[in-house]
Structure 1
């Protein structure tokens, strides 16, 4: 029960009845459904799908995890920044689907959580010898980080996509209030981390069974394995809660509207209907502040933790691939 409650708080939006949306909410926006998010062929028949490869990389003296699908001759490089808990293996299905939908013409790399400055260092270190432009894609707090990286690498980054973006604190969210109080207490953080780690000492089949029967009833095998291999560890949970604490500190401020307005043609956001991390009032606020920016609302029933299901991973990959095709490839 404790595992279910904690992970639902961290990974999922609250379960609620979906209310009809006012027509004004969609004014000037680009809404998206599964039927119009398909990117078409884009060379999908001319290459063999690849599995994402995991490797470790040293960036500015810190070891970070990478999950990547490399193209032989990439025209662009998609750099993905995950949300909290920053476990990139959750996104394996999404990354592989995106690579396939892009016809193998672009490399796709997910980089684990390191600081914003170190992500800029990663771009300089790993991509300084290539002229291939970068498309940043961020999920949740990764959307906020992506914008910060975009600000520091304007010559290298040509587009930025935020998925279910966590850009500002939501005072109406009970879940955020609970996590905020939990993350502020070192004793509570240690207790939670210890309990989670104790589950990690169970035989792998047993821990996977518990996850699958508690929070992962609709989850993909990829998500269940990522939970058991990464989240059920003391240091990982400490990092998750520390990052949550810093998120609440940083996101108490207003988004940098001036930067969004200046780069409105290079930024897009995808919101969910019932997502307390990226609520629709944030959608409305962006619409009012930057009316020309590309905004979409996912109405297919996926959650903030889209990467935990195959259907969610595939749909969001289709959406991102469509944005890349419509906003970048067709404009060249």
Structure 2
């Protein structure tokens, strides 16, 4: 991708990479990333930065220039800085439905930022979601299709997805018990903030690194999350909403695809790639296996538009962004190359 200059726009609440191309014939791809919960984009700095470096090292095609724009932002309510979402300061947490609609508006507002095609829509959009971000991603796809959006959603990559029956997972079962306590998210947040207010930031960060075994950068993001005005309340409120909302499979064939496509079919179904954890504490093995059996493309055949569903065999945790950002970015880069080469 010679001749490209790389632009970046980073803040506490968003990460954007936007290579600048002077080629009016270049193909512009937008990679839009949706976080998990807690929804701080800072956790994914290494992942998105590595993916950006891999994609700009080679465009994966030989016939035309591909320009990859990457954008991700914190979910609403997790950051003091609301500049990326342009949302007013709230005193109550956001629901899962709020997060979906805010992400939808953000995605629809994005345009090619500079060059001969400044202000135009990207030629294709590839969505990437982690954990509950994968659920949000599927909702974005369905709502854009129903609203006849001009956005060209070509594929979605779902990392350690929690898209059905999250309350049946090992961690979901435990936290659902706590949610039986009336107003538990607010009460727990108030107690936690009172304890954290007494502790110096340096001590809290040291405890995070020791107890959670987090590297320094992730511990810093976690410290900011714990010390933020609404972070703990927002995370717990959203988790409770997830337990109540993420239950049965709710999407139709426009999302899941069909087993055998007709040669002259005009239905443009985006490609879906699911990457599950082998023993994910937020995804019960039996609900994962049932989803794969019902919705997956069993032999990855090209005549099927059903999703490719893979299970990690490398021991990567659900929170891959803490210790496995580089290896997952390498996998995602390979998938993106395959997606782009098929456009």
The alignment's TM-score, normalised by the length of structure 1, stands at: 0.74
Relative to structure 1, the CA distance from residue 274 to residue 49 in structure 2 (aligned partners, 3 Å threshold; closer, same or farther) is: farther
Relative to structure 1, the CA distance from residue 50 to residue 90 in structure 2 (aligned partners, 3 Å threshold; closer, same or farther) is: farther
SS at match of 1:103: helix
CA contact (8 A) 1:84 1:240 kept: yes
State how 1:111-260 maps to structure 2 within 5 Å: 111-114=73-76, 115-127=99-111, 129-132=119-122, 133-154=124-145, 155-156=150-151, 157-170=153-166, 172-197=168-193, 198-199=195-196, 201-215=198-212, 217=213, 219-258=214-253, 259-260=255-256
Cα distance in 1 for partners of 2:19, 2:204 equals: 36
List runs of 5+ in structure 2 lacking aligned partners.
Answer: 22-26, 58-66, 77-98, 113-118, 259-267, 298-306
- Choose from 12, 30, 44 the match for 1:77: 30
Tell me by how many angstroms 1:165 deviates: 0.3
Cα distance in 1 for partners of 2:334, 2:131 equals: 20
In the alignment, is residue 53 of structure 1 matched against residue 10 of structure 2? yes
Q: What is residue 321 of structure 2 aligned with on the other side?
A: 307
In the alignment, is residue 271 of structure 1 matched against residue 276 of structure 2? yes
Cα distance in 2 for partners of 1:330, 1:111 equals: 27
- CA deviations 1:24-60 (Å, max 9, x no partner) are xxxxxxxxxxxxxxxxxxx5x98788776116xxxxx
Relative to structure 1, the CA distance from residue 243 to residue 201 in structure 2 (aligned partners, 3 Å threshold; closer, same or farther) is: same
Which structure is richer in relative contact order (CA contacts within 8 A, separation 6 or more)?
Answer: 1
Relative to structure 1, the CA distance from residue 170 to residue 116 in structure 2 (aligned partners, 3 Å threshold; closer, same or farther) is: closer
List runs of 5+ in structure 1 lacking aligned partners.
Answer: 1-42, 56-64
CA contact (8 A) 2:33 2:127 kept: yes
Cα distance in 2 for partners of 1:225, 1:52 equals: 20
Tell me by how many angstroms 1:200 deviates: 5.1
SS at match of 2:205: helix
Q: Which has the higher helix share?
A: 1
Cα distance in 2 for partners of 1:234, 1:265 equals: 39
SS at match of 1:102: helix
Q: What is residue 115 of structure 2 aligned with on the other side?
A: none
Q: What is residue 261 of structure 2 aligned with on the other side?
A: none
- Choose from 83, 91, 96 the match for 2:49: 96
How many positions carry a matched residue from both structures?
275
CA contact (8 A) 1:84 1:244 kept: yes
Cα distance in 2 for partners of 1:297, 1:96 equals: 24
Cα distance in 1 for partners of 2:169, 2:284 equals: 9
Runs (4+) off by over 4 Å: 45-52, 262-265
Cα distance in 2 for partners of 1:130, 1:242 equals: 37
Relative to structure 1, the CA distance from residue 48 to residue 220 in structure 2 (aligned partners, 3 Å threshold; closer, same or farther) is: farther
Which structure has the greater CA radius of gyration? 2
Cα distance in 2 for partners of 1:171, 1:69 equals: 35
Tell which deviates more after alignment, 219-228 or 282-291: 282-291
SS at match of 1:161: strand
Cα distance in 2 for partners of 1:281, 1:257 equals: 22
